[in-house]
Structure 1
Amino acid sequence: MRHDNLDTFLKTADTTLAKGPVALIFVEDDVEIGSTVRHHLDCGFKTLLVLMPEAFGLPDDVADKVERINFDVVRGDDCFDAVNRVSAAAPGLWLYYCYNAEYLFYPFCETRTVGELLTFHTEERRDAMLCYVVDLYAGNLEAHPNAVSLEDAHLDKSGYYALARNDPDNHNYPKERQLDFFGGLRWRYEEHIPAKRRKIDRIALFKSKPELTLRDDHTFSDEEYNTYACPWHHNLTAAIVSFRTAKALKSNPGSTFDIETFKWHNSTRFEWHSRQLLDLGLMEPGQWF
């Protein structure tokens, strides 16, 4: 169904958002819209909200399977505001958000649905899941000048690290079970990335509740939502493989001419399988087998 804007859609929230998990896909340009929607439909989300400019088109095979909402990003925090508004309208549901040309992977996603994943996570008394945004890029930029190619996708197999997340409200002591994660293109080309945008961690899967607020650094007002594990053992984590940074670096006049290729000695072809991400340590199964 097509909706004129988010306000119009939220008037139907009682029925449209009756069951979760719900995915929000924000469309920033016309790159890989169809593949992004198909991938998340295959994950098993009960409802997909595709927030996109009116001028862009949706492929016919997915147009009738999603809730299309006319949406233009005017300010940098418009997407975060939209997530918060949907969250407020659907308390108690698991929500997920991403952008076009981003693809959610979680342990054993080839045989298990996202609903099964979140059922297990809920049983572990967790209301949010840490996701790592893993940069993808085309291996041949001459053939793919926008840096996007599903068939020629590559990622960095090493170069990821974490730093303590200091708490300015507590004498800058490290926050408990919270870390800032870095790596990928945002690390290798950090001179072109604002410092605030260099982290690759995103709490992209979370259970909505009253007064919960998503902040513009992809963390939440409830600090427990921002933790990578519970106090008693390791928890599941997921990965969002994303062409978003590569697209931005190649479309920005300030960086595009400095980059002839994204490939380096630690590049490897992406296999589009959760096993590769598990083997590289880019997500963890926790206690889920």
Structure 2
Amino acid sequence: MRFDYFETFLKNGKDALAKGPVAFIFAEDNVEIDSTVRHHLKLGFKSVVLFGPKTIELSDDLEQQISVVTYDTRAPQMLTQAINRLIEAAPNTWMYYCYNAEYLMFPFCETRSIGDMLTFHTEERRSAMLTYVVDLYAGDADATPNCVSLEDAYMDKTGYYALARWDGKEHKDRQLDFFGGLRWRFEERMPWARRRIDRIAIFKSQKGLELRESHTFNIEEYNTYACQWHHNLTAAIGSFRTAKALKSNAGSTFEIDTFRWHNSVKFEWQSQQLLDLGLMEPGQWF
């Protein structure tokens, strides 16, 4: 179902928010919208809501399965404004957000659904999950000018690191700032605030919860990578977003011939690859 306005969706599209987990996809352009939606439907989300301009293109069969909301995804603070309104509209619901050409992966997602994982995570007394945004890029930049190719996707196998999160007074308990991928290799082209690759993309809404521009929440426990007793599940988001931006930006497109380097590996679209590289954590998940 399509909604011409966000307010109309909040008023008349409540069925899409009635039962989680719900996936919110923010389409910034028409690149790989269908594949992004199909990927998250396959993971088992109860509902998928696609936000984007009227010009977004979506296959007819997907139109029947999801909600589509006309929304200015290029406006300043568009993400936080939307997510915070959705939190307010549907408290006590597991939610997830990403952009187009981004694909959620979690441990053993080939055989377990997102609902299975979040049931387990809830039993672990966790209300949020850390996700690492792993940059993907086409192996042949000449064949794919926007560097987005699902069939020829590559990623960095090394170059990831973390720093203790500092709030100006002290280090945050169980919070780290993560870096790596294209945002690290091309950091001179990235504003400091956009170099991190950690995102609390999976969370359970509650009254008073607010998403901040830093992809963190105002309730500090939501921003932790694990509880105080043992390691917890983390997930990863394979994302072409940075590669797409670097190749579409006039200041960098002609200066980058390829994103591949000696530490590039073919992306296998399997959770085990990300587990082996330490880019997500199974915790007590089995």
Describe the shift of the 1:204–1:121 C-alpha distance in structure 2 as closer, same or farther (beyond 3 A): same
In the TM superposition, what is the alpha-carbon distance from 1:263 to its structure 2 partner? 0.3
| Correspondence list, 1:227-266, <5 A | 227-266=224-263
Identity, in percent, stands at: 65
Deviations 1:19-40 (A, max 9, x none): 1000000000010000000000
User: Which residue number in structure 2 is paired with residue 128 of structure 1?
Assistant: 128
Task: Return 48-57 or 69-78, whichever deviates more.
Answer: 69-78
Per the alignment, in what secondary structure is the counterpart of residue 39 of structure 1?
helix
Contact 2:26 2:73 in 1 (8 A): no
Contact 2:17 2:47 in 1 (8 A): yes
Aligned partners of 1:286 and 1:60: how far apart in 2?
39
Query: Structure 1 residue 100 and structure 2 residue 100: aligned?
Result: yes
Query: Structure 1 residue 183 and structure 2 residue 200: aligned?
Result: no
Runs of 5+ unmatched residues, structure 1: none
Describe the shift of the 1:74–1:144 C-alpha distance in structure 2 as closer, same or farther (beyond 3 A): closer
User: Which residue number in structure 2 is paired with residue 166 of structure 1?
Assistant: 166
User: Which residue number in structure 2 is paired with residue 273 of structure 1?
Assistant: 270
TM-score (norm 2): 0.99
Task: Return 237-246 or 72-81, whichever deviates more.
Answer: 72-81
In the TM superposition, what is the alpha-carbon distance from 1:203 to its structure 2 partner? 0.1
Aligned partners of 2:238 and 2:43: how far apart in 1?
14
In the TM superposition, what is the alpha-carbon distance from 1:255 to its structure 2 partner? 1.0
User: Which residue number in structure 1 is paired with residue 147 of structure 2?
Assistant: 147
Contact 2:131 2:234 in 1 (8 A): yes
Contact 1:21 1:96 in 2 (8 A): yes
Deviations 1:203-235 (A, max 9, x none): 000000011100011000000000000000000
Aligned-residue Cα RMSD (Å) equals 0.8
In the TM superposition, what is the alpha-carbon distance from 1:74 to its structure 2 partner? 4.4
Q: How many residues align?
A: 286
Deviations 1:173-225 (A, max 9, x none): 21100000000000000000000000000000000001110001100000000
In the TM superposition, what is the alpha-carbon distance from 1:15 to its structure 2 partner? 2.9
Aligned partners of 2:124 and 2:185: how far apart in 1?
36
